[in-house]
Structure 1
Amino acid sequence: MKYNLIFGGIRNQDGYEENTEEVLRSFLSEEMEIPNVGDIQFQNVHRLGERSDGKERSIIARFTRFSDHERVIRAAASKLKNKPQFSIYQQYPREINERRKKLIPRMKEFKRQRRHAKLVYDKLLVYGEVYNPDAHREPPPTIPGQPLPNNDGDY
Structure 2
Amino acid sequence: MRDNLLFYGLAERVDGEKENSIALISDICADLLNIDDVRQYIDRVHWVGRRMHNKYRPIVVKFNNFNMREEVRRAANRLRNTRFALSEQFPKDVNDRRKALLPVMKSAKRQGRQVKLVKDVLYIDGRKYEADHGPGPGVRGDQDDM
Aligning the two structures, in what range does the TM-score lie when normalised by the shorter sequence?
A: 0.7 to 0.9
CA distance in 1, matches of 2:60, 2:23: 13
Cα contact 2:113–2:124 (8 A) shared by 1: yes
Structure 2: tracts of 5 or more residues without a match = 138-146
1:53 deviation in Å? 7.4
Q: Which residue of the other structure, out of 113, 116, 125, is the alignment partner of 2:114? A: 116
CA distance in 1, matches of 2:119, 2:109: 18
Percent identity of equivalent pairs: 37
- TM-score, length-scaled by structure 2: 0.83
- TM-score, length-scaled by structure 1: 0.79
1:1-150 alignment, distance < 5 Å: 1-13=1-13, 15=16, 17-38=18-39, 40-50=40-50, 54-77=54-77, 79-83=78-82, 85-136=83-134
Structure 1: tracts of 5 or more residues without a match = 139-155
1:89-140 CA-to-partner distances (Å, cap 9, x unmatched) read: 11000000000000011111111111000110110011221101211499xx
Deviates more, 1:126-135 or 1:53-62: 53-62
Pairs aligned (count): 135
Number of the residue aligned with 2:143: none
Give the letter aligned to residue 80 of structure 2.
Answer: K
Q: 1:35 to 1:133 in 2, by over 3 A?
A: same
1:35 deviation in Å? 3.1
Number of the residue aligned with 1:152: none
Coordinate RMSD, CA, aligned: 2.1
